[in-house]
Amino acid sequence: MPMRRYIKIDEKKVKKAHAVNYVEAVLTLDDWPQVKGYDFEKGLDFQHYLDSLFSTGFQATELAKAIDIVRQMRKTKAVIFLGYTSNMVSCGVREVIAYLVKHKLVDVLVTTAGGVEEDIIKALKPFVIGNYDAPGGALRDKGINRTGNTFIPNDRYLYFERLMMPFLERMLALQKQHGRAMASREFVHELGKTVKDEHSILYWATRNDIPLFCPALTDGSIGDMVYFFKQQHPEFLLDITDDIVEITNLAINAKRTGIIALGGSLPKHMIANANLFRDGADYAIYLTTAMEYEGSNAGANIQEAMSWGNRPDAPNAKVVGDASITFPLLVAGGFVDRQQQTPKQKSKARKGTKGKRTDVKYNS
């Protein structure tokens, strides 16, 4: 085989190509944090793992940033508004949110209709793990509904209907007693009184008097039942105008506020809108899989939020990833205090924090 021949290049051109390819750094950034992942050779220490997210890069660093912002929210005693879409209750994030509400770690909740009714349904009978590839027609024939890879047999909704119809009768009686329609927050508060499951969000929201707003209350199974109920009781009403007044007053009266939004839709927008009345929130964390280019509320980044009036100086983070993964980690790092750890966990945590970064402040 003949040797490959290359076209001869002038030495000056070679030097120029080298100079272009290897531009001398103006800034070497030697004093910046190094990119480095968790060292599993040392075994698994969960606190050390959470600390390592900051230096990992990509969305792990954004999550570490969000964890630090949660700590700032709590340190400054900000009123924390938590918004979440119904799929967060369909999956096991429901129990994570219930933990926060039980321990009064969040102050205001906003969700969609599914976020209310699925919490109640799970208190009656659980959902089960299925798979994404199950044929929809076959599931329908068997009376099984699918949300992602969770299965919800129709009997759950029958149990729910048996609870709801007498409840609606009681709500109508209260409406007549007070001479006015009930707001969605009042409706949800009363509904929480029917729950006996301590893993329920509504159970703890009602008992701890934490307001849960759901102005889209009829956009789901509750709405189906209201439809049939109103065939016999057309005078039954729900008032969503009180909700906007109450949540906006909560924001205006707060000395500091923080937003945590899981996904987008009505919960994120309602919370952000209420905080606009106080010139924006002091802190903001968005957890989403949506991208900005589609123009959705869920995908909007912080800069877009600023264009609508949110504060440019507020510490903020947008974490792109499945919230069923990112939110429990956010709670573990930002809300679960080390005082709640076992003595063995505390000892490991103390050993691992010497000389380590414990907090980083962000503004963008």
Mean pLDDT on 58-74: 97
> Which single residue is written with the structure tokens 């009403």?
237
363 has a pLDDT exceeding 50: no
Q: What beta strand segments (E) does the chain contain?
A: 79-84, 108-111, 128-129, 144-147, 150-153, 182-183, 212-213, 238-239, 257-262, 283-288, 316-320
Per-residue pLDDT at 339: 55
Mean pLDDT on 349-360: 41
Tens-place pLDDT, residues 206-245:
999 999 999 999 999 999 999 999 999 999 999 999 999 9
> Which single residue is written with the structure tokens 């009064």?
104
Per-residue pLDDT at 2: 61
> Which single residue is written with the structure tokens 């798979």?
131
In a domain, residue 39? The reply is yes
Q: What are phi and psi of 258, to 5 degrees?
A: -135, 145
Mean pLDDT on 248-258: 98
In a domain, residue 362? The reply is no
> Which single residue is written with the structure tokens 């103006």?
26
In a domain, residue 360? The reply is no
In a domain, residue 364? The reply is no
Determine what percent of the chain is predicted with pLDDT higher than 90. Answer: 77
Mean pLDDT on 106-122: 97
Q: What are phi and psi of 308, to 5 degrees?
A: -95, 0
Tens-place pLDDT, residues 255-308:
999 999 999 889 999 999 999 999 999 999 999 998 777 777 677 777 777 776
In a domain, residue 2? The reply is no
Mean pLDDT on 135-152: 95
CATH number at residue 72: 3.40.910.10
In a domain, residue 359? The reply is no
Closest of 297, 342, 262 to residue 96, by C-alpha: 262
Contact 269, 297 (CB under 8 A): yes
Per-residue pLDDT at 340: 56
In a domain, residue 79? The reply is yes
Per-residue pLDDT at 19: 84
Lowest mean pLDDT among 71-75, 163-167, 269-273, 348-352: 348-352
d(Cα 355, Cα 352) in Å, to the nearest integer?
A: 8
311 has a pLDDT exceeding 80: no
d(Cα 346, Cα 308) in Å, to the nearest integer?
A: 43
pLDDT greater at residue 342 or residue 185: 185
State which residues form the domain around 151. Answer: 11-352
Number of folded domains in the chain? 1
Residue 174: both structure tokens together: 């209260």
Lowest mean pLDDT among 50-64, 66-80, 108-122, 330-344: 330-344
29 has a pLDDT exceeding 70: yes
Per-residue pLDDT at 58: 96
3-state secondary structure of 182: strand
251 has a pLDDT exceeding 50: yes
pLDDT band, very low/low/confident/very high, at 9 (cuts 50, 70, 90): confident
Per-residue pLDDT at 14: 82
pLDDT band, very low/low/confident/very high, at 346 (cuts 50, 70, 90): very low
In a domain, residue 3? The reply is no
Determine what percent of the chain is predicted with pLDDT higher than 70. Answer: 90
